[in-house]
Amino acid sequence: MPVDELAIPGAHNVSNALAAVSVALLLGVAPDAIRRAAAGFSGVEHRLETVAVAGGVRYVNDSQGTQPDAVIAALRAFPAPVVLIAGGRDKGVDLSDLAVVVAERASAAVLIGESAEALAGLFAGAGLARIERAATLDAAVATATAIARKALADAPAEGGGAAERLATVLLSPAAASFDMFVDYEARGRAFRVAVRRLIAARAG
DSSP letter for each residue of 123-143: HHHHT---EEE-SSHHHHHHH
pLDDT tens, residue by residue, 42-85: 556 879 999 999 999 999 999 999 999 999 999 999 999 999 99
The answer to whether residues 85 and 173 touch, using CB atoms and an 8 Å cutoff, is yes
Q: Which is nearest to 168 in space by CA: 5, 7, 9, 45?
A: 9
Report the share of the chain in percent with pLDDT over 90: 71
Q: Which CATH number fits domain 44-203: 3.40.50.10470, 3.40.50.720, 3.90.190.20, 3.40.30.10?
A: 3.90.190.20
The answer to whether residues 189 and 198 touch, using CB atoms and an 8 Å cutoff, is no
Determine how many CB atoms are found less than 10 A away from the CB of residue 58.
18
Average pLDDT over residues 11-15: 50
Average pLDDT over residues 151-173: 80
Nearby residues of 95 by Cβ (< 8 Å), 6 or more positions away: 68, 119, 122, 174
Q: Is 203 exposed, middle or buried, given 0-12, 13-18 or 19+ CB atoms closer than 10 A?
A: exposed
| Between residues 87 and 13, the one the model is more confident about | 87
What is the per-residue pLDDT for 7? 47
Task: Give the residue extent of every domain in the chain.
Answer: 1-43, 44-203
pLDDT tens, residue by residue, 82-130: 999 999 999 999 999 999 999 999 999 999 999 999 999 999 999 999 9
| Between residues 18 and 99, the one the model is more confident about | 99
Average pLDDT over residues 166-189: 98
Report the alpha-carbon distance of residue 74 to residue 66 in Å, rounded: 11
Determine how many CB atoms are found less than 10 A away from the CB of residue 167.
27
What is the per-residue pLDDT for 17? 47
